[in-house]
């Protein structure tokens, strides 16, 4: 019994040593958090030496590098508000895709025009975007074809009015004279009866279907009249395009809508306060500029 108690005492004394050490460590940790600090320092040292890797990290790094590169490139880009066209400083130009066969370009007036005084990278990005859409819209408008039927009708009406007031005879004289045709002198200093005669013979050529009209005006005079009407049609077409280009530069709410129809694009120019203008665009310029 004595030996048993003696052995139990020795066992207890041996256990007190590690227990005491553990207790001291626990007390020290509560007071100083030495272990947590040591582990934290160790991880910081090791992480600074570790090479970043993994698909997630590479994606984050690539995204960050791209954003920084874009910001730097825009900040160093030669484009500045003072160099940008005035319409781009005053308007925001937008492009919206509607599927793979249609797109809308629009002009939205800025609340405040961009000022040329150290713009931020965000302002430069928006300015570059607007400039790109602005140039695309202008290019497409210069390539647009205005359907000739309506314009030709206006040109024919204009020629009919000129025939009635006599100014068409002066135009014929000038046109034939430029071609060195002897018929030019027929329409110089005309008498009233001569004017009446030519009004009768020229009027059928200014009808809705001039090619099928019967007239004794003669081939040279008939050709000259057709060229005068065509020149007027071309002038109206050019005026229409210039009107749309002016609206693209300065009209809040201007929209250019394009939709593929077969091997070309049908387009409508919507200018506030005016009737919609129907246009036709070849496929190539639209594909090159908009990727449709």
Tens digit of pLDDT at every position of the chain (292 positions): 544 445 545 544 554 455 555 555 455 555 555 555 555 565 455 544 444 444 444 444 444 454 444 444 444 444 455 567 889 999 999 999 988 889 999 999 999 888 767 677 888 888 889 999 999 999 999 999 888 777 888 899 999 999 999 999 999 999 999 999 999 899 988 899 999 999 998 988 888 766 666 777 788 988 999 999 999 999 999 999 999 999 999 999 999 999 999 889 999 999 999 889 999 998 888 888 888 8
Q: Is 272 exposed, middle or buried (0-12, 13-18, 19+ CB in 10 A)?
A: exposed
Which are the contacts of 218, defined by CB distance < 8 A and separation ≥ 6? 183
Q: Are residues 136 and 267 in the same domain?
A: yes
pLDDT at 213: 66
Asked if residue 237 and residue 162 are part of one domain, the reply reads yes
Place of tokens 């919609």: 276
Of 232, 235, 168, which Cα lies nearest the Cα of 203?
A: 168
What is the rounded radius of gyration, in angstroms, for the C-alpha atoms of the chain? 42
Same domain, 227 and 262: no
Contact 266, 273 (CB under 8 A): no
> Are 15 and 158 in the same domain?
no
Residue 198 lies in a domain: yes
Whether 90 maps to a domain, the answer reads yes
Reference 128, options 160, 159, 89, 155; nearest CA is: 89
Does 258 lie in the same domain as 139?
yes
Domain contains 181: yes
| Domain final residue pick, 242, 259, 274 | 242
57 lies in some domain: no
- Shared domain check, 166 and 130: no
pLDDT for position 30: 53
Domain coverage including residue 229:
148-242
- Residues 222 and 231: their CA atoms lie apart, in Å, by 14
Task: Please give the tally of structural domains in the chain.
Answer: 3
Residue 56 domain-assigned (yes or no) = no
pLDDT at 48: 47
């Amino acid at each position: 019994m004595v030996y048993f108690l003696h052995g139990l005492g020795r066992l207890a004394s041996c256990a007190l040593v590690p227990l005491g050490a553990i207790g001291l460590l626990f007390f020290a940790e509560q007071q100083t958090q030495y272990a947590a600090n040591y582990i934290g320092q160790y991880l910081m040292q090791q992480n600074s030496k570790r090479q970043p890797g993994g698909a997630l990290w590479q994606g984050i790094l690539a995204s960050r590098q791209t954003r920084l590169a874009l910001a730097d490139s825009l900040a160093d880009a030669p484009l500045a508000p003072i160099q940008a066209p005035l319409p781009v400083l005053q308007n925001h130009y937008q492009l919206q895709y509607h599927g793979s066969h249609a797109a809308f370009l629009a002009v939205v007036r800025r609340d405040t025009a961009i000022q040329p005084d150290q713009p931020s990278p965000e302002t430069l990005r928006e300015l570059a975007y607007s400039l790109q859409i602005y140039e695309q819209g202008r290019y497409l408008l210069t390539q647009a074809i205005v359907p000739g039927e309506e314009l030709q009708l206006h040109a024919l009406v204009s020629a009919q009015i000129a025939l009635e007031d006599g100014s068409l005879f002066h135009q014929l004289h000038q046109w034939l004279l430029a071609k060195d045709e002897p018929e030019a002198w027929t329409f110089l200093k005309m008498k009233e009866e001569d004017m009446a005669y030519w009004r009768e013979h020229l009027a059928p050529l200014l009808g809705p279907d001039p090619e099928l009209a019967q007239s004794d005006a003669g081939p040279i005079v008939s050709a000259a009249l057709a060229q005068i009407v065509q020149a007027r049609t071309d002038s109206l077409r050019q005026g229409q395009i210039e009107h749309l280009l002016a609206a693209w530069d300065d009209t809040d709410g201007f929209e250019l809508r394009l939709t593929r129809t077969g091997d070309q694009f049908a387009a409508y120019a919507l200018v506030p306060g005016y009737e919609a203008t129907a246009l036709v665009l070849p496929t190539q310029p639209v594909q090159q500029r908009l990727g449709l």
